[in-house]
Amino acid sequence: MEGQMVKGLSIEDIPGLTLLYDEPASRHTTLQVGGPMDLLVIPKSKQALVKLVRRLREVGVKPLVIGAGTNLLVRDGGIRGVVVKVGEELGGVTWGSEGVTVGAGEPLIDLSRQAVERGMSGLEYACGIPGTIGGALYMNAGAYGWSVADVVSEVELLSYSGRVQRVDPRLLKFGYRSSVLGDKGIALSCRMSLLAGDSKLLKRLVDEVLAVRREKMPLDYPSAGSFFKNPSKELPAGRLLEEAGCKGMRVGKAEISEKHANFIVNTGGASSADILNLMELAQEKVRRLFGMKLEPEVCIVGEEEVKDGK
Ligand SMILES: Cc1cc2nc3c(=O)[nH]c(=O)nc-3n(C[C@H](O)[C@H](O)[C@H](O)COP(=O)(O)OP(=O)(O)OC[C@H]3O[C@@H](n4cnc5c(N)ncnc54)[C@H](O)[C@@H]3O)c2cc1C
């Protein structure tokens, strides 16, 4: 029965895959919301992932890829089809004199910490950005004017047809919290060019960055980080939301943080619908006051919940 969820798909024979049926997305996202995923596959190795993608191709299935789910809002109806999680099993770090090669499932924060300890400069502003390297590439994650695109020198990519190739990062067209990685395939690993630095100075900078983040961000509550993109450097979304009176606004158990207006937090038991309704209310308030529409930075995926009798 379970194997028939996608017509003609059989992957149980591929070694090195963990298969979870009807797995709640809320367990795999930092917002802790989201309905069941029909099939979540967690590959334990690159080889297993490549085999999986080739098998999916044979039946015409394009999987949805997730990393640590730190920038994901899955709707309450969950996700139909196949979700592939590129997690820590696909991590791994190899240091060289001019940089590092890192698996897509490696947590960015761990990599940043290692770089600083080794006196390698280039990843210190990543010290507080959760999620995987794959997610960071997709989002072109960044902070304080720095972004992942500044250090990536090569990306190992698995196309949806199952081909593995090393590509120039320019192919991914990095922009502000964006790239075209999703059109190209799944990130397997990347190389980053780093510079020699002074470990003590780098550590001091990291401590300062983390202190500022702790002071400004509501890190005690489940969230997906900044919810909206900044319309421009001069117009941060947080300021627009604050001036529009959004701080403290609630729908159900979702709340616009009093601490930072660009964070929607789950105060305990929120649904995706709560968060999406709150998002729309906030967008409307900002549109009325400033005449501009805030675009979500968070990736919104999945199906709306179908209620009985509707
Ligand atoms: C408390 C908090 C603070 C945050 N602060 C910041 C910040 O300062 N700066 C910032 O930029 N972000 C921040 N974020 C958001 C988030 O951490 C980043 O966007 C992160 O890079 C997402 O990585 P992930 O592995 O969690 O990706 P996910 O959320 O799992 O996925 C995000 C997108 O990446 C794609 N993806 C994931 N892995 C791969 C892969 N291997 N190949 C291809 N596509 C893939 C997914 O399909 C999805 O579209 C914060 C989040 C939280 C919760």
Are 111 and 74 in a shared domain?
A: no
- CATH code of the domain in which 230 resides: 3.90.78.10
**For residue 287, is it within any domain?**
yes
Tell which of 46, 71, 88 closes a domain.
88
Q: What is the spatial distance between Cα 124 and Cα 114, in angstroms, rounded to a whole number?
A: 10
Q: How far is the CA of 131 from the centre of ligand 1 (A)?
A: 5
> Domain range for residue 267?
218-301
Choose one of 88, 106, 141: the last residue of a domain. Answer: 88
Of the residues 175, 203, 231, the one at which a domain ends: 203
Q: How many structural domains comprise the chain?
A: 3
Neighbours of 32 (CB within 10 A): 18
- CA of 4 from ligand 1 middle (Å) equals 31
| pLDDT over threshold 60, residue 24 | yes
The pLDDT tens digits for 58-99 are 999 999 999 999 999 999 999 999 999 999 999 999 999 889
8 band by pLDDT with thresholds 50, 70 and 90: confident
Q: Please indicate, yes or no, if residue 80 is contained in any of the structural domains.
A: yes
Percentage of the chain beyond pLDDT 90 is 94
Same domain, 57 and 84: yes
The verdict on the CB of residue 127 being under 6 Å from ligand 1 is: no
The mean per-residue pLDDT over the stretch 8-32 comes to 95
Distances in Å between the Cα of 254 and the Cα atoms of 152, 165, 248 are 36, 42, 10
- Pocket perturbation via mutation, ligand 1, pick of 31, 52, 139 by most ligand atoms within 8 A of CB: 139
Query: Which residue of the set 89, 106, 177, 189 is catalytic?
Result: 177
Q: Whose Cα sits closest to atom 4 in ligand 1?
A: 225
pLDDT attached to residue 2: 52
> Tens digit of pLDDT for each residue in 194-203?
999 999 999 9
Q: Is residue 278 part of a domain?
A: yes
**Residue 259 CB contacts under 8 Å (≥ 6 apart), including other chains:** 216, 217, 218
pLDDT tens digits for range 268-294: 999 999 999 999 999 999 999 999 999
Evaluate whether 29 touches 72 at the Cβ level (below 8 Å): yes
| Among 136, 145, 150, CA closest to 178 | 136
Q: Reply yes or no on whether the pLDDT at 3 is more than 50.
A: no
Supply the mean pLDDT for the chain.
96
Tell me the C-alpha distance between 125 and 18, whole Å: 34
